[in-house]
Structure 1
């Protein structure tokens, strides 16, 4: 009898241990406009901004050097991260959410999100920081309030409600703001609770994230923290403590302050004994904003290249627009100090969380999400699925192995030549690059490789028409997809 009880006890302990191993806390840190080359570890020769905490995290983690955000601007990337679905399948075919009618939530209320998936495994979920996926501000009478204002200090009155924000899209708790033009409005859950200056926001988000970690450390249930920073996006407002620290101007100072936020979060995990059971992902929503960061001065005066060896910046279909830092740590589970060169996409978060927790994604969710778990534990994967990227003007590219096909004549964004300028120069309407041999996308080899162009075009069209890139039943896109954007060569979104 005693032996049976002992066996039963040991069995229950082993099950509990297995569950703990499969259900780590998840901390997803999403920087805003942090370029691949802004991380010194990834840009040792031409990166001039010190990033000690990011570099230290890389030493403890697996770093993906061929990771992509799925879009070269923020709203679509955030949609993809939280839904596992490319944003161009939604109503948003170009640009980002701004104001007025465009403030309607982009994520349908009945769509599965990462937090609503993890809730099935008893996770508590918090979103702290920038949302930029649409919600309405309403007054006490339920009437909508507009924040369509280019002034970065604009906001809405305290007490204003947010009836369709993050806590209606799977999160248990929210603390943050919508986007840069409403950054003086600080929201907690579904109500505006404070008015703040933009320079205060990053510190507020950092402190609230660390407090949340400390609070959740007291619970036996796992948590998911989606920490979406406002930096180093414009307005570039490093706090007084960080001004002049980098020697690379205010942008460099802001990147250093962003790096310090990571350090604070990692310290909070360590102090609460959560290192070994927390999956940490550090990444960015797109490349550096050349106009906002004063990229010309960064390069010419400071010798800092925010896109490293890659061509383009935020907004562009070229690599600098959507190739991002992507560092993953799970102490004791993921081998420290490793580099992975496989191609991955930010949409993979949902499937990865599902595999780690033993959850199943329904057929109508996560249509473009592949699990990274085999890669994270060091399994040899022959190849990964093709990745589709999207520029601010809605231009498409598909990456499959060494080949990248871009269905536009220019940058697809703000960089020169823009698509309109490229058309005036009679540049080819498509671009094909061997990315492994030509990381800077300098040699368009579409004419020499018509079979590759045809093959990639066919793959892209199938991914679009099937409503998914993962195995499963055919799904519908929310709107018809105009692949070549014949009527659109320039996006009116202000450069920021």
Structure 2
């Protein structure tokens, strides 16, 4: 949610640093974490480790834990599961979603009294596991606990929007609501099917973690009453990495050649300046590091299965000795469900897309720019090595 550019962050995923906190019994919880939100430009931050099922269970405010852990907690419930780990007294799993929402609302109330605009980034811990709808929402969806938890997320959005309206700033506030991946099997697809819900990912193949559309194709809802289009939609491809360029354009910031190398502004789509494609290529990968590249209606998956959690998974391909093509090529306009691999009929398109992906990797960018950029973390990434070598 943005109303300008004083930066605030709720629920920062300082996962790598915080995981070290619970693996090292001698860690000093009184010292600031490294590589936290302040390192990346946030003026204020309040959050915790990556998700509610990852220890340690402590709040971190402005890079410093608010309390030291005094106990160890664990939940082995199939849906409400969280890993065993140190927990502070002010951290109650079932209350965290509302605790963070209250913080966000308070921040809006505080900043709305100042003349400078502000920016609030609020990544929710829900409906990720542990699935913990509060009593108010239990049974409300007439589906299952996951459905109830999704309704609680809807209510969080209501609270944010109402806070903006109460402060009289909703008309000139840009709100973006989206997800970072497709539905998790923890939603319990079989349960939901019994009440005529098909949540894995709408008509898309696969789910969270997969290379297929079900792993990446998610809704993105925008509200900007004073400037944005109303009651409209677009089928143009965008990516969450496009937020950088979008925010830069809204705020008048000139992106340096060494910044946001894969980010394209979606502002023209939001305000209706045009409905042209904002990006030629979109690159993404599955949970095991396998890549896909999309251009227009065409999508090339550089793997022979889901490379994730749905069939055929890598271990199933191996154990069942499945004879599958090394790559998969789909035309999403004609086959959004990715049921027909067109690699045999269109080998030249597959080659073209693989060459494009190789260039993007070696250039370190997909945007135009004067300089190639140095990638980080490529060493030992076997899927990258098979593309560039």
Q: TM-score, normalised by structure 1?
A: 0.68
Following superposition of structure 1 onto structure 2, how do residues 109-128 of structure 1 map, counting pairs within 5 Å? Answer: 123-128=5-10
What is the match of residue 21 of structure 2?
A: 145
- 1:160 Cα deviation after fit: 5.8
CA distance in 1 between counterparts of 2:364 and 2:44 reads 31
Q: TM-score, normalised by structure 2?
A: 0.86
CA distance in 2 between counterparts of 1:208 and 1:358 reads 28
Contact 1:283-1:326 within 8 A present in 2 as well? yes
Structure 1 residues not aligned, in runs of 5+ = 1-24, 28-117, 138-143, 150-155, 488-496
Which of 104, 107, 130 lines up with 1:212 in the alignment? 107
CA distance in 1 between counterparts of 2:122 and 2:129 reads 18
Which of 24, 34, 47 lines up with 1:176 in the alignment? 47
CA distance in 2 between counterparts of 1:404 and 1:465 reads 20
The number of residue pairs the alignment matches comes to 356
What is the match of residue 380 of structure 1?
A: 274
- 1:226 Cα deviation after fit: 0.5
What is the match of residue 347 of structure 1?
A: 241
Following superposition of structure 1 onto structure 2, how do residues 32-431 of structure 1 map, counting pairs within 5 Å? Answer: 123-136=5-18, 145-147=21-23, 159=30, 161-179=32-50, 180=52, 181-182=54-55, 184-194=57-67, 195=88, 196-290=91-185, 292-300=186-194, 302-383=196-277, 384-423=279-318, 424-431=321-328
What is the match of residue 73 of structure 2?
A: none
SS in 1 for 2:204: coil
What is the match of residue 476 of structure 1?
A: 374
CA distance in 1 between counterparts of 2:314 and 2:384 reads 11
Question: 1:250 and 1:132, CA in 2 relative to 1: closer, same or farther beyond 3 A?
Answer: farther
Please, what is the CA RMSD of the aligned residues?
Answer: 2.2
CA distance in 2 between counterparts of 1:329 and 1:183 reads 35
Question: 1:209 and 1:277, CA in 2 relative to 1: closer, same or farther beyond 3 A?
Answer: same
CA distance in 2 between counterparts of 1:159 and 1:313 reads 40
1:438 aligns with 2:335: yes
Contact 2:234-2:275 within 8 A present in 1 as well? no
Instruction: Provide, for residues 363-410 of structure 1, a one-character-per-residue CA deviation record: whole Å limited to 9, x for no partner.
Output: 111000011111122133443321001110001000100000000011
Question: 1:483 and 1:451, CA in 2 relative to 1: closer, same or farther beyond 3 A?
Answer: farther
CA distance in 2 between counterparts of 1:132 and 1:188 reads 12
- 1:304 Cα deviation after fit: 3.1
- 1:244 Cα deviation after fit: 1.2
Structure with greater contact order relative to length (CA < 8 Å, sep ≥ 6):
1
- 1:132 Cα deviation after fit: 4.4
Instruction: Provide, for residues 140-168 of structure 1, a one-character-per-residue CA deviation record: whole Å limited to 9, x for no partner.
Output: xxxx632589xxxxxx9974642431122
Instruction: Provide, for residues 232-277 of structure 1, a one-character-per-residue CA deviation record: whole Å limited to 9, x for no partner.
Output: 0111111111111111111011100011000000000110111122
CA distance in 1 between counterparts of 2:38 and 2:204 reads 38
Contact 1:286-1:324 within 8 A present in 2 as well? yes
SS in 2 for 1:162: coil
Which of 452, 457, 465 lines up with 2:354 in the alignment? 457
Structure 2 residues not aligned, in runs of 5+ = 68-87
CA distance in 2 between counterparts of 1:237 and 1:467 reads 41
